[in-house]
A = this chain, B = another copy of it.
């Protein structure tokens, strides 16, 4: 398993790392079952402080990380909006981040600036306080912890059905602009025999670089605009919303008819009884809320899994993962 100092990209994760996070997360969820277990988790890192530096707004990911800190006893500070901080005006972003590193032991950052995490990790590694960085989403390119929780949810969902290997994952919606899709597809190549069906409107098909990567990896995949036909073959339906915030012209997305790629109650009868429905959330109209009550709907658990996998990741990064794996419950 790769020794990891920062979490910058999903491309850092190899199969042993994913499997270890899977086991750690399962163990951590056992601790969640009692006050004693939860207090044990809180005893692991109460002497540590984390900065949640979220200059790209994200309530969901922010709360997930903050709760993960709470679970481990980590104290946290936050920057949510640099525009409110006059003191930081005129200061370089490098100086600001170096300031945070003076006060805390871990920096979790989400920024619209591509490559910023790598640059800061590199800067701090050369300083007297080389604190670890976790990329909590950087512009359109990387969101490694989302990929991690998706893989965990898939592994967990299929643990009694032969595991994730060999399963068919159907990814649906805006496959062109969703960073989630890119990271998850790449990580699925680490699970032999797994197959992806990409179901999207012509305008939102996957990008060439991902297609090339999958072809080079000799990974089996299919692209289709017939979502209905894909449903009955799938073990997991991974829904995504149209990422219209990346439209380059006004109304670009609304010109595309995406309605054939919405999942609604009428599809449920075609879906395998052991299949799972996932969504990175937030959803719009591509996933009908009436589906929430179907036992195959796993997106709320997937969201909560995000919190637990982030706990697992932080214990790994801060060197207390052995303290999770070792004790008998």
Contact = CB atoms under 8 A, between A and B. Distances in A.
A75 B307 CA distance: 15
A301 B101 CA distance: 11
B70 A75 contact: yes
A312 B18 CA distance: 43
A94 B85 CA distance: 25
Contacts of A214: none
5 contacts: A39-B46, A51-B63, A60-B87, A127-B292, A128-B301
Contacts of A92: 289
A114 to B, nearest CB: 18
A126 B99 CA distance: 39
Nearest to A51: B63
Contacts of A283: 91, 95
A46 to B, nearest CB: 7
Closest 10 pairs (CB-CB, A-B): A38-B47, A70-B75, A91-B282, A67-B103, A102-B304, A59-B85, A57-B86, A102-B303, A35-B47, A58-B87
Interface in A231-289: 245, 281-284, 289
A120 interface: no
A55 to B, nearest CB: 12
Interface in A51-106: 51, 57-61, 63-64, 66-67, 70, 75, 77, 79-81, 84-88, 90-92, 94-96, 98-100, 102-104
A101 to B, nearest CB: 8
Given A39-B47, A95-B283, A102-B303, 7 more contacts: A39-B46, A60-B87, A86-B245, A90-B282, A90-B284, A102-B307, A129-B304
Contacts of A81: 84
A66 B58 contact: no
Contacts of A87: 57-61, 282
Contacts of A245: 86
Contacts of A194: none
A289 B91 contact: no
Contacts of A128: 300-301
A238 to B, nearest CB: 18
Nearest to A100: B63
